[in-house]
Structure 1
Amino acid sequence: MSDQSKRKRPLVADKRYPSKGKAAAKKPAKKPAPKKPVAKRKAAPKRAKRGGITGLFSAMFRWIFRLIWKVTWRITAVVVLVLSLAVGYFYTTLPPLEALLDGRARGSVTMQDRYGDVFAWRGDQFGGVVTADSVSRHLKNAVIATEDKRFYRHFGISPRGIASAVRINLSEGRGPLQGHGGSTITQQVAKLLCLGEPFDPNAGLTEKEYESACRRTSLQRKAKEALFSMAMEVKYSKNDILSIYLNRAYMGGGAFGAEAAAQRFFGKPAAAVSAAEGAMLAGLLTAPTTLSPTNNLDRSQSRAATVIRLMREQGYLTEAEAAQAQANPAELSEAAEAKAGGYFADWVMSTGPEFFTRNTTEDVIIKTTLDQRMQSAAEEGLKWVFENKVRKGSKAQAAIIVMSADGAVRAMVGGRKTKVAGAFNRATQALRQTGSAFKPFVYAAALDLGYSPNDLIDDSPYCMTIPGSGEWCPKNYTKRFEGMVTMTQALKDSLNVPAVKISESVGRDLVSQVASQFGIQSDLAAGPALALGASESTLIEMAGAYAGILNGGSSVTPYGLVELRLQGDEEPLMGTGGGIGERVIQESAARQLVYMMEKVISEGSGQRGQFGGRQLAGKTGTTSAAKDAWFIGFSADYVAGVWMGYDDNTPLSGVTGGGLPTDIWREVMSRVHEGLPLKDLPMSTPAPLSDFSDEGQDGQNTGNGGGSGTVIDQILNEIFGSSGSGSSAPNPEGGDR
């Protein structure tokens, strides 16, 4: 068997489809269509792998970058989430817009004069709610140009502004958060709101400490401020935020908000301020107290000029408008020029109820007795005398009171600097010896007992022995003695010996009682020098006491408050705080005393007080060593008092009550009486001198006894044993002309 027979058949696949015949089998096969050549793609060049150290660092950099990216976006997402939650939290704590517009902790006091015109403000004044759309466009634009020129483009904080502030602080040698803050208007509003932390009186902090804590600039505080600001940007519109700022910002002079500031400084609403006025108000936001126009108008105008330049640079003003504003800087209204009412307003605030004046939480309206025309007369009269009759450089001070016979104070000057507030008021606070200005109360006591202005007194050397002090011998200012004189002449020429004799005759206690009942509240001297004004008093007390003489002998309480009510109420809470009180001396005695005091001006030591042909009465006064000089007098219409001296009790050089104080009195009263008709004083001419037989059985004169001087000497002889010794002991009280 051959090997071929043993070979296996080749593996051939079975025909799966049977043939369809021979014809089909013989049919030639179809040629395939020729394929179009396909353009071969160029293979991308393979990036050459860097080897060695360069490749290693490249790989490491790519790995670090991918790692940082993964970590950064995750951290960013977490930070954004946390910020969103924090902003959302502050958002939920923000109150409605209306609750944020009045941010004062105290109320305000608005003072009106006797005719109802506003002349002064005190406390935290709030003029009313304004909006960013209701104020003058000049004010709105000035605030944005000065405080935050990108206000409408940021989201509450300005990274560019913060970076710039940090750079400036570091360049000036301060810490990054000290000095410039780079705060937006929104951030400033956040500070004004104290980041939503209301003042709690029970927290152990004063209001000042609370405000200081609100404005501290720690890193934690700035972060919270930024979150609070962004929350406000979400809660309120841009104009809402600007409205809060315009209502809550302190603008100096006690004014909170644009409306109060516009009314206080310019006497007009915030909607009507000009470009120059708007620039001045916006300029105050940087340093409201320092730049306040009532403190330094020139400095305030200089700052306003800078604001106008910024407004021009930012397109808020045309070249012509800016030039006009620069050429016509803002000026204060008359009320603002008076700087919150000066001494008179201070006095009214101090005499009113504390819970409605100094510490009020309400807005209060007080109608007062002030007459602004008379106030100007007092200030102008004082200024004229010091400019024309006082040596330049003199530090002497003066004070003036003008009042009606019922005690209504019409004008008050407490010192030579009249445009002040909160200053020492020499008209109401300075206790000074009164000198011979006290003598009318001695004669008032005598006249009320029945003495006559024509009664005779012996003006001759007279001494008394004072227990513990030795012999005391009063002298006249002229160093001369006039002999027998009437009471009228003794007062007219301000003689000391007769005043002491009358005081001793009627009794010092009675003299003290009469003076006290007329309104001299200070402790009165106990010795015989009482008659010569050794006691101290204030000018307002003395003027009030003289008003009692003018009105017929009734006591007077000087007052400035007529009516107090809450803003918006029609009915007052309280009325007049003074006026005419009980009778002190008989009207007939008061009329005789007016007659005697009229001779002081028409014939005696106060002749320099005459003006306009009017009947005038008064009394001069000069104290020991001329430390104080007074003149107090009255017409039929008004009482005026003038004091002059040094605060440190330095003696006046060549000044007596009949000199410069009388000049000031004349200049003031002549201005006060401009346009007023002439009126006669309420005085009675005494009966003519009669003989000694008319005196009463008790040794007191009944009003017609010309020899009562002899009786006075007899009474003094009985009391002291001697009427005079001719001793030359010095007179510590002095007299005056």
Structure 2
Amino acid sequence: MTDSRKRKPPLVAEKRYGAKPTAAKKAKPKTKSKPKAKPKRRSAPRKAKQRRGGIVGFFGRIIGWVLKLFWKITWRSAMVVMLIIGLAVAYVYTTLPDLEELLDGRAQGSVTLQDRNGDVFAWRGDQFGGAVTANSVSRHLKNAVIATEDKRFYNHIGVSPRGVASAVRINLREGRGPLSGHGGSTITQQTAKLLCLGVEYDKTQWKSEADYVADCRRGSMARKIKEAIFALAMEAKYAKDDILSIYLNRAYMGGGAYGAEAAAQRYYGKSAATLNPAEAATIAGLLTAPSRLAPTNNLKRSQDRAATVLRLMNEQGLLSDAETSRWQNNPATLSEAAQAKAGGYFADWVMSTGPEFFTNNTTEDVIISTTLDQRIQKAAEEGLKWVFENKVKEGSEAEAAIVVMSADGAVRAMVGGRQSKVSGAFNRAVQAKRQTGSAFKPFVYATALELGYSHVDTVLDAPYCLNIPGSGEWCPRNYTNKHYGEVSLEWALMQSLNVPAVKISEAVGRENVRKVAGDFGIESDLAAGPALALGASEASLLEMTGAYAGILNGGSSVTPFGLVELKLLDDPEPLMGTGGGIRERVISEDAARELIYMMSKVVSEGTGARAQIPGWQIAGKTGTTSAAKDAWFIGFTADYVAGVWMGYDDNTPLTGVTGGGLPAQIWQEVMTRVTEGMTPRPLPAFTPKPKPSQTRPNRSNNRDNVLEQLLRGIFGGN
């Protein structure tokens, strides 16, 4: 084995290394070959390998790995988010209705009230003037809305990241939450809010429509995301002008007006298509705070806001410098109907007389024709104001009310308090029940005249007492604390004597007096005792004025009314007509004419002298209650009956005021304005014959002996 191993040829070094020169020679042409320069191109990987070395390379590799991971996650997440948003937008897109269904979104209808001439003077409910489009309204209104609410409206896709970022920055700078205050919403997003993101009002889910609206206006992050998705879907579904049209029709613009057309009619009595720049700027300015900035609420504040809107329009090239200066110096003013503050007390009263489902709770648009005469309403308001400014002590809290009506009960004007330009306030002309005092006495004398007495009959004005069961003795006294002996009924009424009135009432029977007063329209509970004759009962001013209208028209009762006709918008046939007017006869025409004559003496020679109007025949009666808590004057010309009440809401006694004082002066101031330009007509009173002997007239045959004896004892005559 050893020998065999030795027989192997030894390794020869020269053979291993001797070939090296040959190999080098063969490789030499290759290294010098210029076309093959690939190894040089691999220098980059060699440099990368060098960067991996050391601590810097280690952290570099970590950062690179993180960045790659972040990028992969980000773009994949973005793709997922975009996909989700796209699906959400697509879904909302499928739920959006046709454009026409979105223009009127009110849950409640409106009531438009027209005066006797057919002119609009008041609105109630949610008024909607009719659908408009972005191209049918005044271009000034369109420009004002865009300039104020979203100047990039035509350039974004429904949301504006720049606007949101700016709003967040402003909110944080002002110390609010990022989503509190400024919202940075586009017009499209605001329209989405107006649509409540497609959620309709459900009475079972929300306590009231106000809660529903508040829920729609929440500003949480989740709500903002839904709002953005809804806005994107709207941009995909509708054209830009369609979205603006929805906004112009749905936006609340104060004063019960929803939409541009309703606002234009409400504030300026014109179409939204004819608004000038000042009017358009005012309406556009309402969008930020419609109730606070409404011109019917504060005209100066509304005009200041409009000036800012005009400036924004100018800055965006929508108005020239000359136009801006012109309209800022000539701000928009309200129409007469708007100045009336929604019709005040009269409109409230008319609404209360109609059926609830067509007035306060209507879901339809209703038109109500009324009896109101705006000229007379203005006269009533101005007359009351003049007296309180010139005749009443400054700072007085005394109140007053006025009703003016025709002889058939058609109410032409109503003032329920000194603050006449209000809505929903306590109406003292209708809601206040006050003692009537001597204003009740005409019904006592009406009863006597109907039973056959004459204005020349006499009654003894002397101390007089009655025993009242359960109360003891009661002795009425005259206001002057004097007695005048035997006086005629005419003179007793003219001087408003108490004792003769009680004697007449007792003579003809309290029940008869109660019946006559009730038949004339005094519906309140009337006193059962002898104080009935002195107006111890309570009644409203409307009731009393209506009762006097029955005297003027010849003795027939009336039901005061303000509603003439009620119909739905665009429906020519009325749903209902008036529920008032002349009713049954209460006293004969002869008795009524004689009573009118007696009441005319009250004004021409008696306690109502301050109500006189030169050239006019006037009849009426004063009234003052015990402790002067109430003061009345109710009177009439041949054309109109007017009633005035004055007092304190808390029954504080009036100081130095009687019915023949300030109430008669208010009446005179009001009716002087009412009759201005009218031709005086004589009262329908009888012409008295020469005075006969002061004896009692023949009584009707149906009187019994008991009544005859009672009359002899009271009158003291033959």
Q: TM-score, normalised by structure 2?
A: 0.91
Q: 1:264 — aligned with what? A: 266
Alignment of 1:113-262 (within 5 A): 113-203=115-205, 205-262=207-264
Q: Do the aligned residues in 2 keep the contact of 1:491 with 1:596 (CA within 8 Å)?
A: yes
CA-CA distance at 1:202 after TM superposition = 3.9
Summarize the alignment of residues 217-616 of structure 1 with structure 2, pairs less than 5 Å apart.
217-616=219-618
Q: Which runs of 4+ in 1 moved over 4 A?
A: 35-46, 691-694, 697-701, 709-713
Displacement of 1:204: 5.4
Given candidates 689, 692, 702, the residue that maps to 2:692 is 689
Query: Contact 1:505/1:715 (CA < 8 Å) preserved in 2?
Result: no
1:697–1:261 Cα change, 3 Å: closer
Q: Partners of 1:691 and 1:617 in 2: how far apart? A: 24
| Match of residue 3 from structure 1 | none
Please state how far the C-alpha of 1:38 moved relative to its aligned partner.
6.8
In structure 2, relative to structure 1, the CA distance for the partners of 1:712 and 1:495 (3 Å cut) is farther
User: Is contact 1:348–1:561 with CA below 8 Å preserved after alignment?
Assistant: yes
Find the partner of 2:712 among 708, 711, 714.
Answer: 714
Check 1:36–1:692 CA distance in 2 against 1; reply closer, same or farther (3 A cut).
closer
Would the alpha carbon gap of residues 697 and 669 (structure 1) be closer, same or farther in structure 2, given more than 3 Å must change?
A: closer
Deviation at 1:360, TM superposition (A): 1.0
Alignment partners' CA distance in 2, 1:379 and 1:691: 45
Instruction: For 1:714, give the aligned amino acid.
Output: R
The 1-side partners of 2:393 and 2:85 are apart by: 71
AA matched with 1:423: A
Per-residue Cα deviation, 1:600-648 (whole angstroms, up to 9, x for no partner): 0011000111113211100000111111111000111110111111111
SS, match of residue 61 in structure 1? helix
**What secondary structure sits across from 1:471 in the alignment?**
strand
* Distance of 1:455 and 1:689 partners within structure 2: 10
Q: Deviations over 1:560-597 (max 9, x none)?
A: 11111111111111112200000111111111110110
Residues 480-515 of structure 1 show CA distances to partners (whole Å, capped at 9, x for unaligned) of 111110000000000000001111111111111111
| Conserved? CA contact 2:458–2:696, under 8 Å | no
- Aligned AA for 1:373? R
In 1: Cα distance, 2:60 partner to 2:136 partner: 64
> What is the CA–CA distance in structure 2 between the aligned matches of 1:323 and 1:347, rounded to whole Å?
44
Shift in Å, 1:698: 6.9
The amino acid across from 2:511 in the alignment is: D
**Aligned partners of 1:252 and 1:288 also within 8 Å:** yes
Distance in 2 (CA, whole Å) between partners of 1:69 and 1:396 is 79
**Aligned residues of 2:114 and 2:367 also touching (Cα < 8 A):** yes
Deviations 1:528-553 (A, max 9, x none): 11111111111110000000000111
1:469 is displaced (CA, Å) by: 2.1
Query: Does the Cα contact within 8 Å between 2:452 and 2:700 map onto a contact in 1?
Result: no
Q: 1:176 Cα shift?
A: 2.4
Q: Which residue of 2 aligns with 1:672?
A: 674
Q: Give per-residue Cα distances to partners, 1:356-389, cap 9 Å, x unaligned.
A: 1111111111111111111111111112211221
| Conservation of the 8 A alpha-carbon contact between 1:454 and 1:686 | no
2:646 maps to 1:647: no
C-alpha distance 711-327 of structure 1, shift in aligned 2 (>3 A): farther
Instruction: Tell me, yes or no, if the aligned pair for 1:279 and 1:304 is still in contact at 8 Å.
Output: yes
1:626–1:180 Cα change, 3 Å: same
- The 3-state SS of whatever aligns with 1:290 is helix
Partner residue in 2 for 1:628: 630
Q: CA separation in 2, counterparts of 1:309 and 1:199?
A: 38
Say which SS state the counterpart of residue 126 (structure 1) adopts. coil
Contact residue 402 and residue 642 of structure 2 kept, 8 A: yes
Which residue pairs with 1:97 in the alignment?
99
The one-letter code sitting in structure 2 at the alignment partner of 1:696 is: R
- 2:233 is paired with a residue whose SS is helix
Q: Displacement, 1:691?
A: 5.9
Q: Secondary structure at the match of 2:621?
A: strand
State the distance in 2 between where 1:676 and 1:308 align.
Answer: 46
**Counterpart secondary structure, 2:223:** helix
Partner Cα distance (2:475, 2:459) in 1: 17
Q: Distance in 2 between matches of 1:538 and 1:85?
A: 66
Q: Read off the aligned partner of 2:523 and give its amino acid letter.
A: Q
CA distance in structure 2 between the partners assigned to 1:112 and 1:206 by the alignment: 30
Q: 1:592 to 1:105 in 2, by over 3 A?
A: same
Shift of 1:275: 1.2
Q: Is the 8 A contact 1:433 1:536 kept in 2?
A: yes
8 Å Cα contact 1:501-1:712 kept in structure 2:
no
Q: CA deviation at 1:173?
A: 3.1
8 Å contact from structure 1 (residues 457, 712) kept in 2: no
Q: Say if 2:493 and 2:599, in contact at 8 Å, map to a contact too.
A: yes
Shift of 1:171: 3.0
Please give the TM-score of this superposition, normalised by the length of structure 1.
Answer: 0.89
- Structure 1 stretch displaced more, 568-577 or 692-701: 692-701
Instruction: State whether residues 457 and 710 of structure 1, in contact with CA within 8 Å, keep that contact through their aligned partners in structure 2.
Output: no
| Inter-CA distance 553–279: structure 2 relative to 1 (3 Å threshold) | same
- Give the conservation status (yes or no) of the 8 Å contact 1:437–1:621: yes
Residue 113 of structure 1 and its aligned partner are, at CA, apart by 1.0
Aligned-partner Cα distance in 1 for 2:643–2:593? 20
Cα deviation, residue 222, structure 1: 1.8
Q: Deviations over 1:244-266 (max 9, x none)?
A: 00000010111110011011101
Task: Provide the C-alpha distance between the structure 1 equivalents of 2:687 and 2:447, rounded to a whole number of angstroms.
Answer: 18
Change (3 A) 1:231 1:288: same
Number of paired residues? 680
Amino acid at match of 2:693: S
Distance in 2 (alpha carbons) for counterparts of 1:474 and 1:287:
61
Q: How far apart, CA to CA, are the structure 2 residues paired with 1:506 and 1:446?
A: 6
CA apart distance, 1:700: 6.3
- C-alpha change, 1:279 and 1:204, in structure 2 (3 Å) is closer
Amino acid in the other structure paired with 1:378: A
Q: 1:76 to 1:367 in 2, by over 3 A?
A: same
CA distance in 1, matches of 2:639, 2:538: 27
Separation (CA, whole Å) in 2 of partners of 1:165 and 1:431 = 56
- What's 1:733 paired with? none
CA 1:52 to 1:393, structure 2 compared with 1: closer, same or farther past 3 Å?
same
Letter in 2 for 1:118: V
CA distance, structure 2, for counterparts of residue 271 and residue 696 of structure 1: 74
1: CA distance, partners of 2:667 / 2:696: 43
**Residue by residue, what CA displacement relative to the aligned partner does 1:640-688 show, whole Å, maximum 9, x if unpaired?**
1111111111111111100111111111111111222221111124553
Q: Distance between the aligned counterparts of 1:280 and 1:693, measured in 2?
A: 73
Tell me if the contact between 1:450 and 1:700 (Cα under 8 Å) persists in the aligned partners: no
